[in-house]
């Protein structure tokens, strides 16, 4: 449930915009699993039926999964955005009160409670926007928040289902925006700090363990550009440089290493062209380039840089005075093989060449 109010008023030359409200969330998660790791010979072009493989890893009851967690989240917020000098300066100040009640259970055993967290925090929000000129704005914000801790998930974990305590995250951002009317360019610098979590081998047992260890500090710079190059030709794209630095790790063994699954850069671009000879028809192209990603906390193995190209088209027309849009696209048109990302001891394989078709309409 969620509710809120918004109000506007003036105090002399200062304009105020008040936002206040609250939310509540109750959630129960249940789970069970059955996995099989039993390879067998087959033929891609003449696949024969085989016996169901024996279960390798099981947990819980698939017919009646037990709870893994019960969560109650409550939040109250208040902010006042004050505008000065005919809107050329805007200052936002506010706070959020959050309370979390989290219980974890042994869903793969007797269902007993294994974790209990009751955390509350008041966190501030501060933001400033300055318009030096009509087309330019400079902004700064600092945001704190209380977040749920991660839950150990994956294959063959010795601590599967363990719930880690809530944590505070802090985000800083400073940037500038310039709008020419045809193009908008934004440049931002940011920093986000939060606990670092990862999966690693558990001794020589052949199993794995999910851990929290140290602090992950993401610092980066982001550039985005969008606008109209020529009539009917539009561009939207950007680039991000990221330094996901690990700090305060156990015995300092991994201090200065890069967090798992965070690329050191990303670049993307989208181009749209309206066909002049067919009203409502648009061609779409997209390119995405993602930098190196480490797959282990020791930073000895990484995923290589990958690039993907997508093409598509859409056509909007009317049927019985109702707008109808047809979309057709081909993702990864070159059918490039690549590993997209890494997380929790897994590698996520990039999708092969994929054809998509859809239509939407308003009833």
Residues 190/224, Cβ–Cβ less than 8 Å: no
147/121 Cα distance (integer angstroms)? 10
> How is the chain split into domains, by residue range?
180-363
Quick check: 33 and 57 in contact, CB under 8 A? yes
Topology of domain 180-363, per CATH? Maltoporin; Chain A (2.40.170)
The pairing of strands 293-294 and 302-303 is: antiparallel
- Between 37 and 337, the more confident residue is 337
31 CB-side CA count, 13 A: 18
Note the pLDDT tens digit of each residue in 300-333: 999 999 999 999 999 998 887 888 999 999 999 9
> What pLDDT is attached to residue 294?
93
Q: Which residues of 75-104 are buried (b: 16+ CB within 10 A; e: fewer)?
A: bebbbebebeeeeeebebebebebbbebbb
* 3-state secondary structure (DSSP) of residue 254: coil
| Model confidence pLDDT, tens digit, residues 97-136 | 999 999 988 887 788 888 888 889 999 999 999 999 989 9
Neighbour tally for 63: CB within 10 Å: 6
Question: What is the C-alpha end-to-end distance of the chain, expressed in Å?
Answer: 29
69-81 pLDDT, tens digit each: 899 999 999 999 9
DSSP assignment string, 76-100: EEEEEEEEETTTTEEEEEEEEEEEE
Would you say residue 345 has pLDDT above 80? Answer: no
The answer to whether the beta carbons of residues 84 and 14 sit under 8 Å apart is yes
Residue 180 — left, alpha, or beta (φ > 0 → left; ψ -120 to 50 → alpha)?
A: alpha
From 81-85, 180-184, 262-266, 358-362, the region with the lowest mean pLDDT = 358-362
Mean per-residue pLDDT, 261-278: 95
Q: How far lies 36's CA from each of 54, 58, 156, 284, in Å?
A: 6, 9, 12, 41
CB 323 within 8 A of CB 315: no
How far apart CA 226 and CA 272 sit, in angstroms, is 11
């Amino acid at each position: 449930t969620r509710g809120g109010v918004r109000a506007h008023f003036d105090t002399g030359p200062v304009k105020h915009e008040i936002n206040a409200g609250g939310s509540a969330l109750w959630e129960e998660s249940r789970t069970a699993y059955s996995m099989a790791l039993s390879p067998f010979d087959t033929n891609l072009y003449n696949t024969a039926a085989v016996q169901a493989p024996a279960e390798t890893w099981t947990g819980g009851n698939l017919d009646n999964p037990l709870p893994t967690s019960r969560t109650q989240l409550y939040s109250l917020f208040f902010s006042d955005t004050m505008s000065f000098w005919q809107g050329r300066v805007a200052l936002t100040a506010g706070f959020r009160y959050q309370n979390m009640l989290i219980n974890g259970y042994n869903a793969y055993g007797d269902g007993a409670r294994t974790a209990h967290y009751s955390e509350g925090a008041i966190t501030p929000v501060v933001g400033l926007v300055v318009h030096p000129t009509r087309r330019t704005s400079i902004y700064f914000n600092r945001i704190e928040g209380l977040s749920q801790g991660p839950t150990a998930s994956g294959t063959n974990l010795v601590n599967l289902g363990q719930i880690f305590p809530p944590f505070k995250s802090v985000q800083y951002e400073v940037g500038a925006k310039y709008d020419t009317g045809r193009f908008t360019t934004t440049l931002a610098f940011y920093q986000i700090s939060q606990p670092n979590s990862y999966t690693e081998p558990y001794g020589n047992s052949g199993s794995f363990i999910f851990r929290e260890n140290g602090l992950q500090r993401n610092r980066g710079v982001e550039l985005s550009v969008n606008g109209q190059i020529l009539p009917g030709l539009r561009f939207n794209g950007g680039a991000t440089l990221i330094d996901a630095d690990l700090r305060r790790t156990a015995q300092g063994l991994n201090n200065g290493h890069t967090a798992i699954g965070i690329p050191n850069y990303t670049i993307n671009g989208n181009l749209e062209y309206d066909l002049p000879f067919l009203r409502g028809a648009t061609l779409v192209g997209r390119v995405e380039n993602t930098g190196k990603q480490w797959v282990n906390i020791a930073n000895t193995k990484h995923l290589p840089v990958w690039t993907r190209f997508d093409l598509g088209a859409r056509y909007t027309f009317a049927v019985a005075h109702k707008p109808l849009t047809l979309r057709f696209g081909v993702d990864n048109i070159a059918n490039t093989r690549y590993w997209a990302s890494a997380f929790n001891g897994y590698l996520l394989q990039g999708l092969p060449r994929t054809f998509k078709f859809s239509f939407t309409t308003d009833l």
